[in-house]
Structure 1
């Protein structure tokens, strides 16, 4: 194929961010959308027209979307619990290259279904782990080995805003999202594996719901989604990593802070949250930073990593959604390999599920003991 013509499955808030970034890919168009919510369906169709992506057909099902012959690539940005089912439906009807939002699955019992899909799907599937592509995070990844002499300790801190409102409030309940440590934090578990180039062997976690959504009710149910956690992970290489999550800390200057330390020194990156949430009275939002702190000679060196304002305007993820799409476009056209494979998405989910289990039981969890890890090891 010479150009990408998308079919979009799920056009809520994140789906519309994808549309704004697809519009930045030369030659890309949208031929069909499937979005059950009428308001989001209309908004996404209007966005396609305004962005120059065409006038997409508003499909009433995935089957109808796949019947649009112009569609040659797919984006799945639907609620978490639908991802695997929709991948299976596409595999049965018309397998095309897919960029699928995380997490790949939300129920540990569904791991064998993902294994079957992984073994049989004939086209590229890229899992949307866009945090890899935030410019300051990418810089840290590129320089971590040289700066540290081999990472032995990796810490990721995210202090951010509570979960936003989604269509049908699906993200307020663990049964729909997989739990916070799957829904939100699979990004960070993916980063840990990617930076350390090693697989996890043991997970210890503590987490819960301390503040957010406790005064809400949906159909008589109070949300059960967690808003804070600590997770410690031992890796096969001997390295260890920690995640610190707080989702009632949107007053922080930086949203993500990542540090990697080894025998030669330390490298860290500081990443601000979405610019639209930065208080206007404080002036311009912070600029991302990367800081290298060698042990000898001592002396931290800080470099600002500004992000293209056009990319910042296109979404809430520091330009990473665009960089992800640009790489996926090459992979979908056969010009580059898939960088975030189904196995990467699977590992990230399994790590999140192990963390959920550890926090719920108070016990460390060995990855090898998890049924959902079968086929990984």
Structure 2
């Protein structure tokens, strides 16, 4: 029997990417799946024919062989499901982002953190994309100490999900939570400290304007700018556009300091790259010192097997490899509850700033965060 035996809660598009990546780990297997949608359940069963399909989260927990869990359900279900797990059988959990969606739920998260006896890893895949990971490890040396961090994501619109849950802020937490908590996590990781002020401007300009679901129009935003000031003086900026899928690179991240600049260029999912343009772009890291001036370009290719397993440049595999060490060897999660909480709170603060036209300062941030 393999060492790491997953129970899966939610097996839609992202859940199935997790299944394909777990299958690449020699010490891991999926033994039980709960997915209420019949179509997605059938697709999941085809990927893992040996897994037992069950009808509830409680039934997953009742499968004795299961020794860890993955939550990949719609965003607004994450916290209630963590609470149900805590009440029945608190196993190690890898929980998809965002950790929660409603600012009013912070006390519930605090209670969960205080009482949950097993590790909870919050899924922040962008940390593990090879070009991004390379930038993170080299940024301090290349820049001489980061003063400015810029993240630009120009990408495709939100994909269709089961029940169209991701078309509404009440389910997703809002675009700056649902989509951008990844980037706020990266900012805080690179800074090595917490934010003290967040300012944002955003809205819905192009996408989903003509859509209607049960008489309701989607309210998710499709573009934004966010500026974040950190305790150590570092400043960070996010530029998000979700109607720019024709771009060569989906993410462009740059860090600049007194000695120079380092940046990484990350292509979007290969399945979206136009075939008539030839092979999809290869990720790159570019180091541009001030003295001697001149950029140095490094290709950072991703294993084709990992690219075939999902849309996140191999990061889902590396994340599961780390989580397997948590389950099998008791190591500390890379991304804990406090990290996931901060990422969501920064997104909520950005949504609030953009909605009210004012900066969210340190005092308000402290009220939102761990």
TM-score range, shorter chain: over 0.9
User: Shift of the alpha carbon at 1:27?
Assistant: 2.9
Q: Which residue of 2 aligns with 1:349?
A: 344
User: Shift of the alpha carbon at 1:369?
Assistant: 1.4
Contact map agreement 2:262 2:287 (CA 8 A) in 1? yes
Q: Which residue of 2 aligns with 1:5?
A: 5
Q: Which residue of 1 aligns with 2:211?
A: 216
Q: How many equivalent residue pairs?
A: 370
Whole-angstrom distance in 1 between the partners of 2:83 and 2:287: 45
Matches within 5 A, 1:186-265: 186-265=181-260
Q: Which residue of 2 aligns with 1:37?
A: 37
Report Cα offsets for 1:113-143 as digits up to 9, x if no partner.
1111111111111000010000000000000
Whole-angstrom distance in 2 between the partners of 1:125 and 1:372: 23
Whole-angstrom distance in 1 between the partners of 2:197 and 2:304: 41
Whole-angstrom distance in 2 between the partners of 1:239 and 1:110: 30
User: Shift of the alpha carbon at 1:58?
Assistant: 1.4
Whole-angstrom distance in 1 between the partners of 2:365 and 2:122: 22
Contact map agreement 2:20 2:309 (CA 8 A) in 1? yes
Matches within 5 A, 1:109-120: 109-120=104-115
User: Shift of the alpha carbon at 1:336?
Assistant: 2.7
| Alignment equivalent of 1:298, drawn from 293, 297, 301 | 293
Contact map agreement 1:133 1:324 (CA 8 A) in 2? yes
After superposition, the Cα gap between the structure-2 partners of 1:367 and 1:110, relative to the gap in structure 1 and judged at 3 Å, is farther
| Alignment equivalent of 1:363, drawn from 339, 358, 366 | 358
Matches within 5 A, 1:288-327: 288-327=283-322
Q: Which runs of 4+ in 1 moved over 4 A?
A: none
Classify the secondary structure of the residue corresponding to 2:63: coil
Whole-angstrom distance in 1 between the partners of 2:47 and 2:365: 43
1:26 partnered with 2:21: no
What value does the CA root-mean-square deviation take over the aligned residues? Answer: 1.1
- TM-score of the aligned structures, taking structure 1 as reference length: 0.97
User: What runs of 5+ residues in structure 1 fail to find an aligned partner?
Assistant: 50-54
Classify the secondary structure of the residue corresponding to 1:285: coil
User: Shift of the alpha carbon at 1:28?
Assistant: 1.5
Contact map agreement 2:22 2:320 (CA 8 A) in 1? yes
- TM-score of the aligned structures, taking structure 2 as reference length: 0.98
Contact map agreement 2:267 2:281 (CA 8 A) in 1? yes
Classify the secondary structure of the residue corresponding to 1:115: helix
Q: Which residue of 2 aligns with 1:146?
A: 141
Whole-angstrom distance in 1 between the partners of 2:361 and 2:161: 34
Whole-angstrom distance in 1 between the partners of 2:2 and 2:269: 34
Contact map agreement 1:2 1:333 (CA 8 A) in 2? no
Contact map agreement 1:367 1:373 (CA 8 A) in 2? no
Whole-angstrom distance in 2 between the partners of 1:328 and 1:5: 12
Contact map agreement 1:350 1:372 (CA 8 A) in 2? no
Matches within 5 A, 1:87-126: 87-126=82-121
Contact map agreement 1:108 1:372 (CA 8 A) in 2? no
User: Shift of the alpha carbon at 1:281?
Assistant: 0.2
User: Shift of the alpha carbon at 1:371?
Assistant: 7.1
Report Cα offsets for 1:67-117 as digits up to 9, x if no partner.
000111100000000000000000000000100000000000000111111
User: Shift of the alpha carbon at 1:46?
Assistant: 1.1
Contact map agreement 2:228 2:237 (CA 8 A) in 1? yes
Contact map agreement 2:2 2:29 (CA 8 A) in 1? no
Report Cα offsets for 1:329-377 as digits up to 9, x if no partner.
0011125321000000000000000000000000001142147525x2x
User: What runs of 5+ residues in structure 2 fail to find an aligned partner?
Assistant: none
Whole-angstrom distance in 2 between the partners of 1:85 and 1:335: 25
After superposition, the Cα gap between the structure-2 partners of 1:28 and 1:184, relative to the gap in structure 1 and judged at 3 Å, is same
